[in-house]
Structure 1
Amino acid sequence: MSSLTESLKKYFGYDSFRPGQEKIVQDAIAHKDLLVIMPTGGGKSLCFQLPALLKQGITIVISPLISLMQDQVMALQDNGIGATYLNSTLNYEQTKIRQRDILAGKIKLLYLAPERLVSDTFQPFLVTLAQKIGIAAFAIDEAHCISEWGHDFRQEYRQMRYLRQQFPQVPITALTATATVRVQRDIIQQLNLRNPQIHRFSFNRQNLYYEVQEKERRAYNQLLHIIRSHQGSGIVYCISRKSTEEIAQRLVKDGVSALPYHAGLSDKVRSHYQTSFIRDDVRIMVATVAFGMGINKPDVRLVVHYDLPRNIESYYQESGRAGRDGEKANCILLYSRGDKQKIHYFIRQKTNPQEQKIAYAQLAKVIEYADTNYCRRIPQLSYFGEKFKGDCGNCDNCLNPKPIEDWTIEAQKFLSCVYRTNQRFGIKHIIDVLRGSRDKKIYEYGHHLLSTYGIGKDHTTDEWKNLATSLVYQNLVRQTNDGFNILKINDQSKKILKGEKKVYIAVKGKTVKKVTRDNNSQALEVEILLNKLKMLRKKLADLENIAPYVIFNDATLTIMAQMQPDTKAKFAQLSGVNDYKLNKYGDIFISEIRTFIQQKQLPFQLPNNTQMKTLRLYQQGLNIADIAKERGLSVSSIVSHLSELIELNQPVTIDNLVKAEKQKVILNTLKIIGNKKLKEIKERLPDEYTYDEIKLVRAWFKRIDNEQWTMDN
């Protein structure tokens, strides 16, 4: 094991680096300027955090949002690492105490907002810090904010150009999740980076599953079904404040814990709602785009776009808030062509004609993404200039591919039209010519006189669009990326026109295969223990007033559930467990695992598939009637499932199902007459006691008996 890998395990508990991280850390330790473009979830933070612990002096981290820096500091402190922040949430005395700790050498990472860094009042302290402790490096997170061409430009970031002048020997690391080539150049220029090592990674988030569903007439019911069929935290993005409020209210009414989030709420309310979401006090956040950068919750398992996003970059950013821990997560877009009109309304509010033109072009790319029959990642990644061959194996189109047909003749017609219009137009104009449009523009250019005019009336506009995008995706025609998306003939186009190459495209129709996931007893066992460990984690997090993922992330808990370590030596080997966390949490989690191992020896331990489906819905907050409705079963069947789950020592709380006073009466009756048939027990009780209530309490009684028998033997 290399010294860097040993340090990684020591400070963060991980056994190995993620792809590309080790080389970045090596360059940082060598005092080089760096530009790191790494997708969300790729592990950017560790790229400056680990070098900070291995270098002399203090590393100053520039973070644009208070919540973001607070979350990172909290996570570092829970790893036993000296880290702190200075921001506007602290009063004078708190600030002075932290500054004393910093100058005493107790802190290795100091988080600041850009406004504080460049403020005149902070400069004397910064100079003192450099002289007394030494500044190891500046790490500028969300570095795209420094560029006017970035998607979230912030004027105060521009002022950080002075760092190179004031501290010429201190290396600078700039980090961002998204940056076009233009933005990269601007970052380097604005920060005056010296021969920076540029580490650019693929934007492909392989753990994310992408799907587009046609938006149904009853779109809310569709959304509710999606949420109920998924576990864990989720975000629902809506286009308007009104929608967020209405959907959040309906979800709560239907038994799903949810909150709205939009710019119309006060800062205090938004902060409270965000904290509730991060700490798993609420499961679903229904939000506008105001719920954006700085949402440092790595275990979001679902992101749904209830409305069409405005551009691919926004969609990549928003959907990318899922699965930041590297675990599997789902990103679902509900697509209705009518949603275009909503976006058009917002675009028309722009007063600059050029801005409007760009916005319409960006929207067209989103429509292309939603309509495509090919791998979703092709149009998504091409936006960032990344070529992707497709067949990702983790989107709806790749898992359920459309039938393939020979469209060579149509392709020849299309490419011939591109050639005859002098390669000066985009897809829409070519289709208009092929379909014989009477648009004024066609006649102005004289394209109604071309031999290709009207020869494509036998196919719909959508069918021609599908062919056009297919040709682009397969590199059978070139499309410029200058915002005009002009089509150009290439060598492959010429082969098609000469009849030397066939063209096959995916068409809408029945899918040719369906991928399903297997369920087996081993997987169920892991899921059961994982749920127990998550409940334990939540209890501990509430006691410490921190987010659950700070204790252990979902990836570590999953490995824990799979490996089931029952000793400290085994527990220490888990990825994500360092010495600090081993000593702080090891005994507590090991005790939970040992209890589970003992209980699973009982012959009735594992629930079956139908019981597990009911348990998942119960854990999402649904009541018995709602679970029955969702599953299409009777209420009595659901009561039977819950009773069986109680006997199997699964996380079903009797207090949520039967009132305490009724529990007491039924339990007293059972203690007197024993475990009799339901009818016999019912005859001993007043009329207001139902068979369902008796069945549930009797299951609880059996469970107590079984636990006592296990302890005695």
Structure 2
Amino acid sequence: MGKKVDLGVHLKKHFGFDTFKGNQEEVIENVLKGNDTFVLMPTGGGKSLCYQLPALILPGTAIIISPLIALMKNQVDAIRNISEDDGIAHFLNSSLTKAAVTKVKEDMMSGKTKLLYVAPESLTKDENIEFLKQVEISFYAVDEAHCISEWGHDFRPEYRRIRPIIEEIGSKPLIALTATATPKVQSDIQKSLGMVGSMVFKSSFNRPNLYYEVRSKKHATKQIIKILKENVGKSAIIYCLSRKKVEELAETLVVNGIKARAYHAGMDATKRAGNQDAFLMEETDVIVATIAFGMGIDKPDVRLVIHYDIPKSLEGYYQETGRAGRDGGEGKCITFYSYKDIQKLEKFMQGKPIAEQEIGKQLLFETVSYAESSICRRKILLHYFGEKYNEENCDTCDNCCHPKEQSEGKDNVLTMLRAVLELKERFKAEYMVAFLTGEANSAIKSYKHHEHEMFGVGKDKDGKYWKAVVRQLLVAGLLVKEIENYGILKVSEEGKEFINKPRSFMITQEHDFDTEDVEESSGGGTAAVDPQLFSMLKDLRKKISKKKNLPPFVIFQDPSLEAMAIHYPISLEEMMNIPGVGSGKAHRFGKDFVELIKKHVEENEIERPIDMVVKSVANKSKNKIAVIQSIDRMIPLDDIAESRGLDMNELISEIESIVYSGTRVNIDYYIDQVMDEDRRDDIFYYFKEDAETDDIASALEELGEDEYSEENIRLVRVKFLSEVGN
């Protein structure tokens, strides 16, 4: 009993806490007894305290093996904050200067240092091994221990060498810690670290405050902007798999008025650190990142974790979504899924060694199962980590909030269980599905299973259905996956019982994200023109054109009015996003149109789609600016075209789009060179007085094709629109 009181005293003295969290106390007691200890504790559960406190209590220095330099620095700073002497904690890695390394060694030899953080790469250096042999070591801690396993989501080959090096330096108790480990990864870690007999402390992987949702990837950017606009001021992390996508998405969000920054390993280190700090200090709300972001980021109030791309494994997904709501408050985890992304990931694997491809495929299969399944997401996740979730409905995932249809599957469950036994429990899910649907692929032929009497007995259902059966039997515990040869299906005792005494088993229909329509609420889909509004907008345009004595097309063209009748812009800023309306046009004519639309939306209680708010990052804008600047400098248009790599036709189109958006350009200097005054005035007068529309074909017909060229008419139309409309 005395020990426990002591621990509480130490906890208060060093960290200022009154009580331990979860099973921290038992873990620390086990470490103090000198036993090997294995800790499985989800993100935010207080893993680091499990080795920090015993390190401060025990004589000697604890060696903490950790994979990330940034992580070490944060941890060392945190420990130094609770002590008067900076020498209490150090890190040893490639970022240190010679002088800094000498200082670390001096502090350790003098007994000041209680915790030394090292990267596995530094641990393997001969000079470090020799040095550590002279030091009194209290114990070793292996943080992020899942890095040892090829089945973990962040495998590091150098982690495999930890045990032999510990033996060389001098064996001491070992504590291994991870925030995510499936039963397969757990057994791998214990074998690799030579701690099979260690005590295992496992906290629940359930995070009840997190809401899980998977959506179809149609119009993902629009959906993301809608989600962020509905959650203004809340911290969000968006994960993408490629650096290019990170940059693009961050830029698009900024253009749409969202405070966002990018973060990936390819960025300049100072900029990257600056963006991370801006997120921690709440100068920016959103970080768009590759998975490099977030390891050891201790921000308790991240409210949204969005996956633009699905992760390569469920462990990765759990780790990344686990960064939401660490303070126990709201945490929404929304993932965008398309099977095409999975195929892309499979393609990336093709150059890798076969063993690695096999592992990668199995992990992807789990991810697909999670995304496409329509049973409780919490159930699937916890089952993956070897934990049972017994509630019928978790109320905090999309599948529980919007249940899918179920159908009686008793006979099909029996078929699957019997088939697995018939084939001697030697195959993975994909093989079993092909076998039952009668797909005589090369693998099945090599085992001669296409001649088996059960081959094809399930062909009245498709592969998708049978995959659903396997997934749901695994979660229900009637089938299990072998740990040694991961992925091979075995029938459990419960499954055998089911064969002897069949009972009702409801199979839930799965999602098919690539054909599902995106719900209106998620802001996707192309909407139809609102006919009533379109005709009101045309009337308004007519009224303004009479008042200003201008042809209607000078104010806005029909396609612009149509876009307004789809997207309902209700502010000048939104109006500028409508095709053919730039800031000039919006400010000159937009006010009346915006007011009319706003009134129409309110009176008819219209729910506006979000589409229109999404501005795309204009890559053409550089071209436009260069063209405007060249015209200001009165450079002949043919020279501008040549310098921009355009033909004359393309250049005039570029100038037209500039003018239609409401920007004024003066090309008189060029028109005066290529046509005489009378012709110019004839065309100008035609557009001002006679033209019903700005159509070039109608102008040619009216003015005479023999007399006037299309190019000349287009040039004068630019002059007309610029002078009269802008």
What is the TM-score normalised by the length of structure 1?
Answer: 0.62
1:189 to 1:490, Cα distance in 2 relative to 1, 3 A: closer
Distance change >3 Å, CA 409–CA 155, structure 1 → 2 = closer
Contact 2:39–2:178, Cα closer than 8 Å, also in 1: yes
Percent of aligned positions that are identical: 39
SS in 1 for 2:48: helix
Q: Deviation of residue 54 (structure 1)?
A: 2.6
Q: Does 1:349 pair with 2:351?
A: yes
Summarize the Cα distance change of 1:227–1:12 in structure 2 as closer, same or farther, 3 Å threshold. farther
Distance 1:458 1:211 in 2: 31
**1:18 matched residue in structure 2:** 21
8 Å CA contact 2:180, 2:318 repeated in 1: no
Cα shift readout 1:250-270 (whole Å, capped 9, x = no counterpart): 111112222223343344443
Alignment of 1:228 with 2:229, yes or no, is: yes
Mapped pair 1:377 → 2:382: no
| Alpha-carbon distance in 2 for matches of 1:464, 1:27 | 46
Aligned residue for 1:43? 46
Secondary structure in 2 matching 1:334: strand
Aligned residue for 1:111? 117
State yes or no: 1:367 paired with 2:373: no
Residues 121 and 361 from structure 1, CA distance in 2 versus in 1: closer, same or farther, beyond 3 angstroms? closer
Alignment CA distance shift 1:98-1:279 (3 Å): farther
Counterpart residue type for residue 364 of structure 1: F
Displacement after TM superposition at 1:234 (Å)? 2.4
How far, CA to CA, are the matches of 2:440 and 2:98 in structure 1? 71
Equivalent in the alignment of 2:533: none
Return closer, same or farther for 1:388/1:165 CA change in 2, 3 Å cut-off: same
Q: How does 1:219-298 map to 2 (within 5 A)?
A: 219-230=220-231, 232-291=234-293, 293-298=295-300
Distance 1:433 1:147 in 2: 31
Q: CA deviation at 1:370?
A: 0.7
Contact 1:41 1:323 in 2 (8 A): no
Question: Compared with structure 1, are the counterparts of its residues 139 and 402 closer, same or farther at alpha carbon in structure 2 (3 Å cutoff)?
Answer: same
Structure 2 residue matching 1:373: 3-state secondary structure: coil
Task: Trace 1:108-257 onto structure 2 (pairs within 5 A).
Answer: 108-122=114-128, 126=132, 130=135, 134-146=136-148, 151-155=154-158, 158=161, 161-168=164-171, 170-179=172-181, 187=189, 196-216=198-218, 218-230=219-231, 232-257=234-259
Distance in structure 1 (CA, Å) of the matches to 2:572 and 2:65: 49
Residues 418, 266 of structure 1: CA spacing in aligned structure 2 closer, same or farther, 3 A cutoff? same
Structural mapping, 1:353-432, within 5 Å: 353-389=354-390, 391=392, 392-415=394-417, 417-418=419-420, 424-432=426-434
What is the CA-CA distance between 1:195 and the residue it aligns to? 6.2
C-alpha distance 4-435 of structure 1, shift in aligned 2 (>3 A): same
8 Å Cα contact 1:114/1:157 also seen in 2: no
Which deviations, in whole Å up to 9, do the C-alpha atoms of 1:261-314 show, x marking residues without a partner? 334334444344334434433332222234364445444332221112222232
Distance 1:194 1:426 in 2: 27
For 1:471, the equivalent position in structure 2 comes to: 473
Relative to 1, partners in 2 of residues 1:161 and 1:496: Cα closer, same or farther, differing over 3 Å?
closer
Mapped partners of 1:183, 1:416: distance in 2:
29
Q: Provide structure 1 residue ranges, at least 5 long, that are not aligned to the other structure.
A: 510-622, 638-713
Letter of the 2:53 counterpart: L
Q: Is the 8 A contact 2:214 2:398 kept in 1?
A: yes
Indicate if the aligned counterparts of 1:411 and 1:496 stay in contact, CA closer than 8 A: no
What letter matches 2:246 in structure 1?
Answer: T
Matched-pair contact (CA < 8 Å) for 1:495–1:501: no
Secondary structure in 1 aligned to 2:339? coil
| Corresponding residue of 1:567 | none
Aligned pair in 2 of structure 1 residues 173, 439: CA closer, same or farther (>3 Å)?
closer
If you compute each CA radius of gyration, which structure gives the higher value, 1 or 2? 2
Contact 1:114 1:160 (8 Å CA) reproduced: no
Distance 1:28 1:472, change over 3 A: closer
Contact 1:60–1:137 (Cα < 8 Å) also in 2: yes
Say which SS state the counterpart of residue 338 (structure 1) adopts.
helix
Query: By how many angstroms is 1:423 displaced?
Result: 5.0
1:654-673 mapped onto 2 (5 Å cutoff)? none
Distance in 1 (alpha carbons) for counterparts of 2:196 and 2:430: 45
SS of the residue aligned with 2:161?
helix
Counterpart-to-counterpart distance in 2, 1:135 and 1:142 = 20
What is the CA-CA distance between 1:194 and the residue it aligns to? 10
Relative to 1, partners in 2 of residues 1:442 and 1:166: Cα closer, same or farther, differing over 3 Å? closer
1:676 maps to none
Distance, in Å, in 2 between the alignment partners of 1:86 and 1:157 is 21
Q: Which amino acid aligns with 1:304?
A: I
Please tell me the residue identity of whatever aligns with 1:462: K
Alpha-carbon shift at residue 212 of structure 1 (Å): 1.2
- Equivalent position amino acid for 1:308 in 2: I
Distance 1:426 1:125 in 2: 49
Q: Do the aligned partners of 1:142 and 1:175 also contact (CA within 8 Å) in 2?
A: yes
How much has 1:436 moved relative to structure 2?
5.0
**CA distance in 1: counterparts of 2:60 and 2:424, whole angstroms:** 62
CA–CA distance in structure 1, aligned partners of residues 497 and 159 of structure 2 = 53
Supply the distance in 2 between the matched residues of 1:226 and 1:74 (Cα, whole angstroms): 35
User: Which of the numbers 64, 67, 71 marks the counterpart of 1:64?
Assistant: 67
Shift of 1:334: 0.8
User: Aligned partners of 1:120 and 1:437: how far apart in 2?
Assistant: 56
> Deviations along 1:658-694, whole A, 9 cap, x unmatched?
xxxxxxxxxxxxxxxxxxxxxxxxxxxxxxxxxxxxx
Q: CA deviation at 1:224?
A: 1.8
Matched with 2:89 is 84
Over 3 Å counting, the alpha-carbon distance change for 1:495 and 1:200 in structure 2 is: closer
Structure 1 412/72 Cα, relative in aligned 2: closer, same or farther at 3 Å? Answer: same
Equivalent of 1:319, from 312, 318, 321?
321
Partners of 2:123 and 2:79 lie apart in 1 by 21
Where in structure 2 are there 5+ consecutive unaligned residues?
Answer: 512-570, 578-593, 600-726
Structure 2 CA distance, aligned partners of 1:414 and 1:359? 25
Q: CA deviation at 1:248?
A: 1.0
Q: Give the Cα separation in 2 of the matches to 1:467 and 1:185.
A: 27
1:500–1:117 CA distance, 2 compared to 1 (3 A): closer
Judging changes above 3 Å, is the alpha-carbon distance between structure 1 residues 252 and 487 closer, same or farther for their aligned structure 2 residues? Answer: same
CA distance in 2, matches of 1:420, 1:238: 43
Instruction: Give 1:113's aligned amino acid.
Output: A
Q: Which residue of 1 aligns with 2:606?
A: none
SS at match of 2:141: strand
Q: Contact conserved, 2:209 with 2:331, CA < 8 A, in 1? A: yes
Alignment of 1:477-496 (within 5 A): 477-481=479-483, 485-490=487-492, 492-493=494-495, 496=498
Hey, what does 2:304 align to over in structure 1? 302
Q: Output the amino acid matched with 1:371.
A: E
- What is the Cα deviation at residue 122 of structure 1? 4.8
The answer as to whether partners of 1:11 and 1:81 remain within 8 angstroms in 2 is no
Q: Deviations over 1:161-202 (max 9, x none)?
A: 44444445x543332233456655665566566964333344
Contact 1:37 1:175 in 2 (8 A): yes
Does structure 2 retain, via aligned residues, the 8 Å contact 1:62–1:111? yes
Aligned residue for 2:267, secondary structure, equals: coil
Q: CA RMSD in A?
A: 4.1
Q: Equivalent residues in 2 for 1:419-568 (5 A)?
A: 424-432=426-434, 434-437=436-439, 456=458, 458-481=460-483, 485-490=487-492, 492-493=494-495, 496-497=498-499, 500-507=502-509
Mapped to 2, the partners of 1:624 and 1:309 lie a distance apart of 39
Say whether the 8 Å CA contact 2:253–2:260 is kept in structure 1.
Answer: yes
TM-score, with normalisation over the residues of structure 2?
Answer: 0.61
Q: Contact (CA 8 Å) 1:374, 1:390: kept in 2 or not?
A: no
Deviations 1:559-595 (A, max 9, x none): xxxxxxxxxxxxxxxxxxxxxxxxxxxxxxxxxxxxx
- Is the CA contact (8 Å cut-off) linking 1:308 and 1:334 kept in structure 2? yes
Aligned residues: 515
CA gap of 1:219–1:104, structure 2 versus 1, over 3 A, is same
What amino acid is the match of 2:229? Answer: R
Give yes or no for contact 1:33–1:194 (8 Å, CA) kept in 2: no
